Amino acid sequence: MEIIHLSAECYPIAKVGGLGDVVGALPKYQNKLGHVAKVVMPAYQTNFFFEHQYETVYDGWVKLGYQNFPVRILRELHNKLGFDLYLVHIAGLMDRPNVYGYSDDTERFLAFQIAVLDWMEQWKHRPDVVHCHDHHTGLVPFMMTNCFRYSSLKHVTTVLTIHNAQYQGQFGWDKLHYFPAFDPWKAGMLDWRGTINPLASAIKCCWRLTTVSPSYLDELGFQANGLENLLSWERGKSAGILNGIDNEVWDPQQDPMLEKKYAVRTVENGKRANKEALCRVFNLDPEKPLFTFIGRLVGEKGADLLPDIFYNTLSHYDGRLNILVLGSGESVVEGRLTHLKNNFEGSYNTYIGYNEQLSHQIYAGADFLLMPSRVEPCGLNQMYALRYGTIPVVRRIGGLKDTVTDIGDGGFGICHDQSSVWDVSQAIGRAYDLYQDVQRMKDIRKYMMKLDHSWDRAAQQYIDLYQI
Ligand code: ADP
Ligand code: GLC
């Protein structure tokens, strides 16, 4: 089978969050199963782009309303990623350092989708599946089935994976003229509540729809940022497939980003060495339990609760535990988290920003990882934590519910029901008590590290889904 993954992110080329990790791994594992999976994404000006070599496979123009932009599609030559990578260079729109956050993001991603379809339409063969990830590629199923120009792609299977339904990419009907011509009677397939909504359109037009965990699919029926009814209506073609993790990238035994590599057998010494290194850098005490949070500092992740949770916890435990935060996001949260450093020097620290290497070191060196998410479609952090022997402290929601079992239920994590200062503080208290039981901590670490969350299972589930 030939599968074309379309995405705004893909690790290691450009990653903002878990979408990048998934698109950087799933195709590799589909190829290992004997299929031909490729990734097509925009050519941003990231380090990866400049450090690799390419051949040009397509030169053309993309027309967006009254403007034309030059397009060049490049294939990466060395193929070390485990899949063919195609980068869509659109001068004036995509040749920028960041993935998102520009005032013309609508135009950027619409141009990307049109450019990809213009290119695919010229192929001598048809792929078996076009797999779209999130709203940035959500207009592709509509355009493939309705735009006259792409009629030759009409019968190619389209799959949408929803990584996060909070973001839908809506824009006004005044931008309708950006689209290649289609039968105006079909315009309703773009609409949701009076705007052009790429995620809603993809939900309507795709052949199969997946979410990144089974629980998230259930939750979307009553909490989907306005798309609840639509998702319930389309439930028949939907499936929840739990993400995996790339065990080759996230492997404490081979991870070059760690201070000391370790295996299940050597986990105690290994974690100890990594914890000491972290504590040295961040002025923390390696003798005390180390709690951490890694992620986007946004409401969805419960990040706005963190300053109060940390203030209460650090006051209550008075130097008996450490907390370290790695993240960036809302400036108010960043400011409050930074400010806490003044109150709790020696037991609290924070790194505001994005740092891939530091994230690996923290998964390896921490004792507990906090995830008080309000919404968590899957969550990869908890699975990385498990692989590195770090106990997840999570809210029972979405993918967290599907991957973490509480120690009280014979499991290995600490779970709580609500995203509130009270619930999370209670959970930290339970974790602190657990930490005092040295033998139990050792047993849990070993148990967690042996859990299998690799992509092998999920990659096959996607293949099965394409074939139904
Ligand atoms: P989301 O995609 O919603 O942000 P996930 O749990 O799926 O959440 O994935 C987050 C990914 O981004 C993980 O690989 C995590 O380690 C990484 N990450 C998040 N914030 C940072 C940061 N500040 N520095 C380094 N890595 C980060
Ligand atoms: C989204 C979700 C996250 C998920 C990731 C990868 O960013 O917020 O929960 O793990 O996509 O699917």
pLDDT tens sequence across 350-384: 999 999 999 999 999 999 999 999 999 999 999 99
For the record, the structure tokens of 327 come out as 């993240």
Residue 403 to residues 242, 316, 431: CA-CA distances in angstroms? 9, 30, 18
Residues 386-407 have pLDDT tens digits of 999 999 999 999 999 999 999 9
Residues 333-353 have pLDDT tens digits of 999 999 999 999 999 999 999
Please indicate whether residue 164, judged by its CB atom, sits closer than 6 Å to ligand 2. Answer: yes
pLDDT at 467: 92
Residues 162-183 have pLDDT tens digits of 999 999 999 999 999 999 999 9
Instruction: Using alpha carbons, select from 373, 414, 421 the residue that is nearest to residue 397.
Output: 373
Question: How sure is the predictor about 429, in pLDDT bands with cuts at 50, 70 and 90?
Answer: very high
Separation between Cα atoms, residue 432 and residue 434, nearest integer Å: 5
pLDDT at 160 over 80: yes
Q: In the chain, pLDDT over 70 holds for what percent of residues?
A: 100
Mean pLDDT for the chain?
97
- Section 28-43 average pLDDT: 98
Please indicate whether residue 18, judged by its CB atom, sits closer than 6 Å to ligand 2. Answer: yes
Please indicate whether residue 372, judged by its CB atom, sits closer than 6 Å to ligand 2. Answer: no
pLDDT at 468 over 90: no
Please indicate whether residue 272, judged by its CB atom, sits closer than 6 Å to ligand 1. Answer: no
Question: How sure is the predictor about 323, in pLDDT bands with cuts at 50, 70 and 90?
Answer: very high
Question: How sure is the predictor about 221, in pLDDT bands with cuts at 50, 70 and 90?
Answer: very high
- Exposed / middle / buried, residue 410 (Cβ in 10 Å: 0-12, 13-18, 19+): exposed
**Domains in the chain with CATH codes:** 2-244+456-466 (3.40.50.2000), 267-452 (3.40.50.2000)
- Section 55-60 average pLDDT: 98
Residue nearest atom 11 of ligand 2, based on CA coordinates: 163
pLDDT at 79: 83
Q: What is the CA radius of gyration of the chain?
A: 23
pLDDT at 404: 98
Residue nearest atom 7 of ligand 2, based on CA coordinates: 18
